[in-house]
Copies of this chain bind each other. A is one copy, B any other.
């Protein structure tokens, strides 16, 4: 039932290996797009397994985010925060404004821009966040 590598991952991050955490992690891992706390909660509740409490999901996501196993997006969709597995590679997303479908984008167009910006502004650049909005092929046809 427990996947050995997830167990290891938790161990190396000093995260106690509970069923709930395992379930939440597996769901996040299986998703290619960021999802909300509520979605995770519903997926687990939908399965006939042991149910989970919504506040537990919130707490688990907090722990995962702290340990940087996952990323919490700054962008809120309909007032809800989004979470996704931390692929530990720089990534951006393309969101469909019609159906909210989100796909990851290959590569980052920012390049050396951050260094130029540091010189221009005096700020020490830490990171950036780029979200692109558009209409996906399906929604364009409608």
Interface, chain A (partner B; CB < 8 A): 74-76, 94, 96-97, 103, 105-106, 109-111, 113-114, 117-118, 120-137, 140
Contacts and interface: CB of A to CB of B under 8 A. Distances in A.
21 contacts: A74-B75, A75-B75, A75-B76, A94-B117, A96-B123, A103-B123, A105-B117, A105-B121, A109-B109, A109-B111, A109-B113, A118-B134, A122-B136, A122-B137, A123-B134, A125-B132, A126-B133, A129-B131, A129-B132, A129-B133, A130-B130
Nearest to A128: B132
Contact of A124 (B103, B113, B118, B140): B140
User: Which of A105, A132, A135 neighbours the largest number of chain B CB atoms within 10 Å of its CB?
Assistant: A132
Given A94-B117, A97-B126, A125-B132, 6 more contacts: A94-B123, A96-B123, A103-B121, A103-B123, A126-B133, A130-B130
A65 to B, nearest CB: 15
Contacts of A96: 123
